[in-house]
Amino acid sequence: MNGSGKTGPSTLCRGSLQADDSIVTAATTIEVRSGRKDLQGAELLAVAADPIRWTLLTQLAAGASCVCNLHEHVPIAANLLSYHLKVLRQAGLVTSSRRGRWIDYALAPDALDRLHAALPGTVTAAPVPR
């Protein structure tokens, strides 16, 4: 307790509390400017490398999906799901279309070719077998 008789932040910080390194995850901040679809190389791979966005790309590679179905496979808050889909959309990796209240997402037609071309050692952007 602090001087006012209430538990405050200074009281909670005292004692033997230690950080648990096992629950710390790495965070990558990628700035994608609005409408920017010309990402190439490392920038494009960095967008796709985020674990949540990778999961979304994997789900969409199997076929187009409503955002509500994507939310079942990616158990994060709706606002975070929306953010990650926006980053993928701005990078040109996914497309979206409105259907009434719902938004359907699909892998962009050239997404796999662009990701393949971004890999090191790729001389030409050969079509990826589907």
pLDDT in tens, the chain (130 residues): 444 444 443 333 333 333 333 343 444 444 444 445 566 677 888 888 899 999 999 999 999 999 989 999 888 999 999 999 999 999 999 999 998 888 999 999 999 888 888 888 765 545 666 6
Torsion of CA 86, 88, 90, 96, to 10 degrees: -70
Q: What share of the chain is helix, strand, coil (3-state, %, to 5)?
A: 45, 10, 45
Predicted confidence (pLDDT) per residue in 60-91, tens digit: 999 999 998 999 988 899 999 999 999 999 99
pTM for this entry: 0.64
Domains and CATH numbers, the chain: 34-117 (1.10.10.10)
Residue pair 115/45 in contact (Cβ under 8 Å)? The answer is yes
Q: Is the dihedral of CA 88, 90, 96, 101 positive or negative?
A: positive
Note the pLDDT of residue 46: 86
